[in-house]
Amino acid sequence: MFFKANRSTLYAIMGLALASTGSAALADVLVTRSSGTIAREIPRGTRLSDTQALRLSAGDRVTVLTSSGTRQFNGPGRFRINGPVRVASGGVTTRGNNGTARTGVSRGTDIVIRTPWQVNIIEGGPFCVVDSQPLELWRGNASIDAEVTVTRVADGESMTVSMAEGEHTQSWPAGLAVTGGTYTVAIQGSTAHAQMEFVPLSVDADDSVAVGQALLSNECDGQLDAMTVRPQVALTSGN
């Protein structure tokens, strides 16, 4: 189970990080997941310097979002956040208890991993949008043809797009402008539908850490997961 600090605790931790590391180090990396005993020390949402070292016990796991991608650290061991990584070429890399981190790659060609700006047509909740990032509709199961209707609740405006068998993505309906507010997505002939709240963000989409922080702050958890689904392998740096 992942430990999730309340907002007051998070802000206090972030303030301590600023005081102790200075403004130059702030925002280097963002902790997106943390579990085990280490989770109380550095919970999800903590900002760290990429020069810091993590000392993890057995069962500890930390995932961080950096400007160059995502890294996952599995204890036991001591890890430098900006230390060497090992990239797996076709699956999961692990060295048992020797203190490596695993890659989070898809297993099999039939698994399609979405991007943060692809709307899961069966997943409701907050969804963050950025002007510079066009949206797409996404589905994990593309075994059949589907007619997908998107409705803007504020004015009832709706449009339907077709997703052919084998097609996991489709462009957002061109005639339905993306604004803040509530939208519903329904699959014709199915009871499956989702209601989501679009949250406009004012953030540089090229700054991955800033985007990750904005997604976390607005509880756009599915999008944050999409950003961090393929972490690199981190190697221990000794005791």
Q: Tens place of pLDDT for every residue, the chain, 239 residues? A: 444 445 444 444 444 343 333 333 444 899 999 999 999 999 999 999 999 999 999 999 999 999 888 999 999 999 999 888 865 544 333 333 333 333 333 334 455 789 999 999 999 999 999 999 999 999 999 999 999 999 999 999 999 999 999 999 999 999 999 989 999 999 999 887 899 999 999 999 999 999 999 999 999 999 999 998 877 767 776 65
In a shared domain, residues 77 and 103:
yes
| Full domain range(s) for residue 156 | 118-224
Residue 164 lies in a domain: yes
Kindly give, in sequence order, each residue whose CB lies less than 8 Å from that of residue 6, ignoring residues fewer than 6 positions away.
none
Question: Which CATH number characterizes residue 171's domain?
Answer: 2.60.40
In a shared domain, residues 27 and 97:
yes
Residue 214 lies in a domain: yes
What is the chain's Cα-based Rg?
20
In a shared domain, residues 135 and 60:
no
In a shared domain, residues 51 and 125:
no
Residue 13 lies in a domain: yes
Give yes or no for a cis peptide into 76 (omega within 30° of 0): yes
Residue 71 lies in a domain: yes
Residue 1 lies in a domain: no
In a shared domain, residues 131 and 208:
yes
Residue 239 lies in a domain: no
In a shared domain, residues 104 and 198:
no
In a shared domain, residues 203 and 160:
yes
In a shared domain, residues 156 and 191:
yes
Contact (Cβ atoms closer than 8 angstroms) between residue 209 and residue 27 = yes
Q: Which helix (H) or strand (E) holds 7?
A: helix 7-21
Q: Which residue has the tokens 């692809």?
A: 118
Residue 148 lies in a domain: yes
Residue 14 lies in a domain: yes
Question: Total structural domains in the chain?
Answer: 2
In a shared domain, residues 59 and 126:
no
In a shared domain, residues 127 and 217:
yes
In a shared domain, residues 71 and 159:
no
Backbone angles phi, psi at 66, to 5 degrees: -115, 175
In a shared domain, residues 69 and 142:
no
Q: Alpha helix (H) ranges present in 95-220?
A: 208-217
